[in-house]
Structure 1
């Protein structure tokens, strides 16, 4: 989706790594578009990145009707991949490559922006009902920032049961499993559900920064209760992760190896230096443009980019 609620706020995204830790990330609640409640976990003032993950919106839970349907107009992206993962509801993706794809729970929409793409996101025609899910951005390594844009929809992701707990590997690698989704750095994104509750231990690479997003219920890590609606930063250096989940709990494990490069964020653009972001901004404002194209299937005007003061230096 679009980074709409920051209104052009200067947001720095330095790499963060270190020893194992456990602390909540300061998040912000806001309303997107015509009434979609979100919790913006990343970027935060106290946590810019977790591995290469630089943006995370927890969408809902809420109930939608035609009156408050999702309608995020055409907007651009560069230097990132978007990961859309729903627990309830449906979204319709349209992009400048010509793809139109409805996503439903258990399916993955993965859009690679690379050098530049634009897309829109809407409720499917006639949709009403519950909406709950996550949307992430993965910052691309410098050598892949200008890769060709792409879109993929995955319905057959690795799933397995461990100690009565259901795990779906959305992207990356975990416990000897690998998602078919194409990514450009070492990372993990795994949905962990415990309908009846239980405990499990997962092996994780010590080189990964890790985070846990508590989407339903509650979890216990290292004797500490983790509350629903929160994102927790776990740092780096663990070789395993031991969790106890209350019945009905659902958490997302995310993380990966730090990119060891600057990661700057302005509106919907990600890049390793400010000049790249300024160029993307200028290219988008030059409408119609050759870099991003247009979403011909979307019925509405493209979104306007916030102004970046040339005197301000992102860091």
Structure 2
């Protein structure tokens, strides 16, 4: 998914200054952002007070939206560098096409994982015949410096591993939890798990103490470590936890995200992750000139998302150190 804000904020991410050196319970203030003509999403990362959770650098949560009688999601070809996109649907269907020639329909419970690496462009659209509801999350993972120029790739995993415990059905999108390991390619230590909680569920799940973690309430309301987490909000859990207790009175879902704290300082602007303002400006210029990012089949040359203007001040990586 593209950041379609006409004047996107510059985000300086990474470094250890914002990593809680102990367990925390911080409710993150997401904001509503309009994508395209009508689609609205809740942006949970980056947000005020929290830039990253491990290598997870961007989290948009959308729906459930009634898209019956509309064209649903319509995101024209746009570029990415230096990151992975993790697309996760709870309801609906999305048509992914990219400059590698990938042409895939994916639905609820399936993982669509795109590694941008040095450069890729892609589109995301609801197919002409699509379900009436659209509900999911779009997440970005920042790539460490040593692999950020890796060759672009796309993976579609229709079946994912997981486990069931005390009223919780866990599906592992990325990394490992409870003995289940995702087939998705990861370039840094991280975890992403969908947790479907039945009514009355109450379970303690294992965590990696060296990771920082957060949970997104993607459906319904839950209680995490005694703290209420309402639908569409995210709770940051800090580091140093070996377990987390989750419970729910009614059926609900949580998205557990975590990872080793990301020490590198990076610049994220629009759809690019780089290491300096000049580098990001170069990515923008190459997209606008038709270089580097290839072509997505099925679209005319002018049918794509144009880059917004660069901000008036230089982009600098100013990560804080602990």
- For the superposition of Structure 1 and Structure 2, which TM-score range results when normalised by the shorter chain? over 0.9
Structure 1 residue 231 and structure 2 residue 258: aligned?
Answer: no
| Superposition TM-score, scaled by structure 1 size | 0.95
1:314 alignment counterpart:
316
Aligned positions of 1:19-34 closer than 5 A:
19-34=22-37
Contact 2:78–2:304, Cα closer than 8 Å, also in 1: yes
Give 1:176 shift.
2.3
Give 1:58 shift.
0.3
Give 1:282 shift.
1.7
Cα deviation, 1:213-261, whole Å, max 9, x if unaligned, reads 0011222222221111101111111111111122211000001001210
Distance across 1 between alignment mates of 2:174 and 2:93: 20
Distance across 1 between alignment mates of 2:6 and 2:143: 21
Structure 1 residue 64 and structure 2 residue 67: aligned?
Answer: yes
SS of 1:258 mapped into structure 2: coil
Give 1:115 shift.
0.0
Picking from 242, 246, 260, the partner of 1:243 is: 246
Aligned positions of 1:115-154 closer than 5 A:
115-154=118-157
Distance across 1 between alignment mates of 2:214 and 2:265: 20
Distance across 2 between alignment mates of 1:153 and 1:85: 11
Once the two structures are overlaid, the 10-residue window that deviates more, 268-277 or 162-171, is 268-277
Distance across 2 between alignment mates of 1:151 and 1:247: 36
Distance across 1 between alignment mates of 2:221 and 2:130: 30
| Superposition TM-score, scaled by structure 2 size | 0.93
CA 1:46–1:107 in 2, change beyond 3 Å: closer, same or farther? same
Once the two structures are overlaid, the 10-residue window that deviates more, 225-234 or 185-194, is 225-234
CA 1:6–1:50 in 2, change beyond 3 Å: closer, same or farther? farther
Contact 2:174–2:186, Cα closer than 8 Å, also in 1: yes
Cα deviation, 1:131-165, whole Å, max 9, x if unaligned, reads 10001000001101000000000012112101121
Aligned residues: 313
SS of 2:280 mapped into structure 1: helix
2:92 alignment counterpart:
89
Distance across 2 between alignment mates of 1:209 and 1:282: 35
Contact 2:215–2:254, Cα closer than 8 Å, also in 1: yes
1:101 alignment counterpart:
104
2:169 alignment counterpart:
166
Give 1:123 shift.
0.6
Give structure 2 stretches of 5+ with no counterpart: 318-322
CA 1:245–1:6 in 2, change beyond 3 Å: closer, same or farther? farther
Cα deviation, 1:73-119, whole Å, max 9, x if unaligned, reads 11000000000000101110010000111110010000000000000
Contact 1:111–1:152, Cα closer than 8 Å, also in 2: yes
Structure 1 residue 11 and structure 2 residue 3: aligned?
Answer: no
Contact 2:210–2:239, Cα closer than 8 Å, also in 1: yes
2:320 alignment counterpart:
none
Distance across 1 between alignment mates of 2:289 and 2:65: 37
Cα deviation, 1:6-39, whole Å, max 9, x if unaligned, reads 6232222234312110111111112211311210
CA RMSD of aligned residues (A): 1.5
Distance across 1 between alignment mates of 2:165 and 2:71: 39
